[in-house]
Chain A
Amino acid sequence: MILTIAMRELRSLFLSPLAWSVLAVTQLIIAWSFFSQIDFFFSIQQQLVSLPSPPGVTDLVVMPTFEIASIILLMVTPLLTMRLISEERRNGSIALLLSSPVSMTQIVLGKFFGIVVFMLIFVAMISLMPLSLFMGTELDLGKLAAGVFALVLLLSAFAAAGLFLSSLTDNPVVAAISTFGLLLLLWIISSNTGGTAGVLSQLSLLAHFAPMLRGLINTADIAYFILFIATFLVLTIRQMDSQRLQQ
């Protein structure tokens, strides 16, 4: 049942021009930055040789590309998640799900996994760029895998937060703006250097994402993302349940 709902979500994304334009625009921008990273790598290649243990092409090209991808997705995810629940509520199609023999958990998980599958497609397309480097050089596959893993976790976390904020309002634009605000806040919170920075940076998405991009897969970081996703999914389910009661 979760799969049925997820596949419909995914299909709806691709039936509207939104998914296509998101994929096309982000792909173009990321490809451009990938290209300029390679250019940069060539220009400093001479100096690199003189270093005792020089950073490889994975560190200098692939990871910056993933980093830019994560920032672009921070801006784009709200557009993908804004309609998930709010639009269904607005045009009344939510009644179909609510009167069908599916539980609220199944509805929420179905919608979440629909977006996650889209994110997987997105990550696969981005990963093709670094993989193309195999034609001319060696890559650190371990680091590449860590980067892909980190990106998948991060985008799933974006999706969970977006899903929750979409369940709070029946106006998709409000959902998009609040999602963007929340994600941006959680992104920059680590760069705060004040006294409370230690605690706050524990909440930051970036603080848990950046180490993984450097190839450092830490249980604490994985746990953070899983807790982040689970928290927002549970909040969404509770929110949908309580709206049946109040409205």
Chain B
Amino acid sequence: MSSQALISVNNLVRYYGDVCAVNDISFELHAGDILGFLGPNGAGKSTTMQILSGNLAPSEGEIRINGVDLLEKPGDAKAALGYLPENPPLYREMSVDEYLHYCARLRRIDKRSIGDALDLAKERCGLTRVNRRLIGNLSKGFQQRVGIAQAIIHSPHVIILDEPTVGLDPIQIREIRDLIKELGTQHGIILSTHILPEVESVCNRVQIINAGELVYASDMQGLLAQQSTDRYEISLSRPPATDAMLASDCIDRVEQLDTHRFIVHVRGEADCLAAAAVHNDWGLHRLVAHEHSLEQIFVNLTLGEGEAQ
């Protein structure tokens, strides 16, 4: 972790008319960070990303990219930035090579090193075979890859990806995730997504935004520490009444999913739950640790907030 933050955001506020889309957000991103940016639809994820990439101006607040103020010196700040919006910004009538060449020129890569930059970006994104095809004729997955190639072509310090794996097949998703992990070793990456397992497998930090406010921020280790779960999903072929289950010493709480499946909160270890099931002859045939703690946090934070309003 370097001493200087790649991105530092201070008290960012953005209004659309009277609607406050982003309310007083502050965070930092360091080299080697892959920050997962989560939130329900309309929470302000894309707005924040658009502001960070210079597509929208903030109503208030300060953004520094690689130490350069985005509002005062937008040119220098944006040179250190790669951005993939929700819809990849492609020109359908151009070929992949033409397009990437144009992007490289826009991003101030000098003429002699454009060829190398193009080759590297195409190789990383698996575009080598389609380099002469028109972007408009490529499948959605390949277009998405061209969008990613465009964002990394100048090897920027900061890469902002807004839902990069939408529209890709499972194998492509895996490739892109590997690519993001690889890029994350040298660059700082902000990844916005709806897919929680993606965040769990790729990111080392998580941030959740809801209704324009940052409601959760943690690194992955902190999250893993909380993940030593006390929740188990069990399937019983002879389920007792929930009261009978609660009578057992180690069971704290029971949520019934359907007639045979339950989620059980356990005091202590899982084996006491198993022992209780065997002892009372419930016909236990499945016991799974319920580890979706990120999902749980996400649901608690975003749904709880929504109900409160």
Interfacial residues, chain A to chain B (CB-CB below 8 A): 1, 4-5, 8, 11-12, 15-16, 91-103, 244-245, 247
- On whether the beta carbons of B150 and A15 are closer than 8 Å, the reply is no
- On whether the beta carbons of A245 and B81 are closer than 8 Å, the reply is no
Q: Which residue of A lies closest to B83 (CB)?
A: A99
Residue of A12, A94, A95, A99 ringed by the most chain B CB atoms within 10 A: A99
- On whether the beta carbons of A101 and B75 are closer than 8 Å, the reply is yes
Q: Which residue of A lies closest to B58 (CB)?
A: A245
What residues of chain A lie closer than 8 Å to B115, measured between beta carbons? none
How many A-B pairs have beta carbons closer than 8 Å: the answer is 73
Complex: A222 Cα to B254 Cα, angstroms: 84
List 28 A-B residue pairs with CB atoms under 8 Å apart, sorted by A's residue number: A1-B105, A4-B106, A8-B102, A11-B98, A16-B93, A92-B86, A92-B88, A93-B90, A94-B89, A95-B50, A95-B85, A99-B54, A99-B55, A100-B78, A100-B103, A100-B106, A100-B107, A101-B74, A101-B75, A101-B76, A101-B108, A102-B75, A102-B106, A103-B74, A244-B55, A244-B57, A245-B56, A245-B57
- On whether the beta carbons of A12 and B94 are closer than 8 Å, the reply is yes
Output the least CB separation between A82 and chain B (Å). Answer: 16
Q: Which residue of B lies closest to A245 (CB)?
A: B57
Residues in B69-87 with C-beta less than 8 Å from chain A: 74-79, 81-83, 85-87
Complex: A101 Cα to B105 Cα, angstroms: 10
Output the least CB separation between B132 and chain A (Å). Answer: 14
| B27 interface residue (CB < 8 Å to A) | no
What residues of chain B lie closer than 8 Å to A245, measured between beta carbons? 56-57
Q: Chain A at the B interface: mostly helix, strand, loop or mixed? A: helix
| B91 interface residue (CB < 8 Å to A) | yes
- On whether the beta carbons of A93 and B89 are closer than 8 Å, the reply is yes
What residues of chain B lie closer than 8 Å to A98, measured between beta carbons? 53-55
- On whether the beta carbons of B78 and A101 are closer than 8 Å, the reply is yes
Q: 6 closest A-B pairs (Cβ-Cβ)?
A: A96-B89, A99-B83, A92-B87, A101-B79, A100-B106, A93-B89
Among the listed B50, B93, B105, which residue makes an inter-chain contact with A15, where contact means beta carbons less than 8 Å apart?
B93
Given contacts A4-B105, A8-B102, A245-B57, contact A99 B81 (CB under 8 A): yes
